Amino acid sequence: MSLSPREVFLRLVRGVADGETDELPDLYGEVTDVRHPMATPASEPLTSRRALRPHFSVPPEVRESLPKRRVVDVVVHETADPEVIVAEFAYEFTSPDGSPAKVPCVFVMRVRDGQIIESRDYIDPIRTYTARGDLGLLIASLRKDAPR
């Protein structure tokens, strides 16, 4: 029996939070459509499991330097379409300076036969960069994208 959309979502976000990302591409279909509409800088859609592997790939030395985080405030809304859920949650971080931070997220996800075939992942970019202690990187990326 395949996993429900709720179960797939929970495996995904907990895997991200725990830094256990090697198996996460297997939660997606061979052909998929994953978009991050709020990504800064803007990102291209990820349309295959193969494209997702580098997206989730985190070298061990980088993985250890990432802030510790956990998934909190999870609310999963089922829709009239049994394949589609809307999931609200937050990643709670301990910033590099030791202060707490919370990054709100909303995922709209289509799961068929236990695999994600479509997802729109809305993640607050300002709070993400702030929680990681990378606000300067965000500002630099915005300057590059600014019209001249």
User: Considering the domain boundaries, does residue 59 fall inside one?
Assistant: yes
**What's the structural domain count of the chain?**
1
Q: Contacts from 140-144 at CB under 8 Å and sequence distance 24+? A: 141/40, 141/41, 142/40, 142/41, 144/41
User: Considering the domain boundaries, does residue 148 fall inside one?
Assistant: no
CA distance 117 to 30: 8
Mean pLDDT of 128-136: 81
Quick check: 99 pLDDT over 70? yes
User: Considering the domain boundaries, does residue 43 fall inside one?
Assistant: yes
Structural domain including 24 reads 5-143
User: Considering the domain boundaries, does residue 122 fall inside one?
Assistant: yes
User: Considering the domain boundaries, does residue 68 fall inside one?
Assistant: yes
What pTM did the predictor assign?
0.88
CA distance 18 to 55: 16
pLDDT for the residue 144:
77
Length of the chain: 148
pLDDT for the residue 139:
85
CA distance 16 to 12: 6
| Cβ–Cβ < 8 Å for 102, 127 | yes
pLDDT tens figures, 22-71: 899 999 999 999 999 998 888 899 999 999 999 888 777 766 767 678 99
CA distance 130 to 104: 13
Kindly report the CATH number assigned to the domain that includes residue 47: 3.10.450.50
Cα 98 to the chain's mean position, in Å?
22
pLDDT for the residue 34:
98
Quick check: 148 pLDDT over 70? no
CA distance 35 to 33: 7
pLDDT for the residue 104:
95
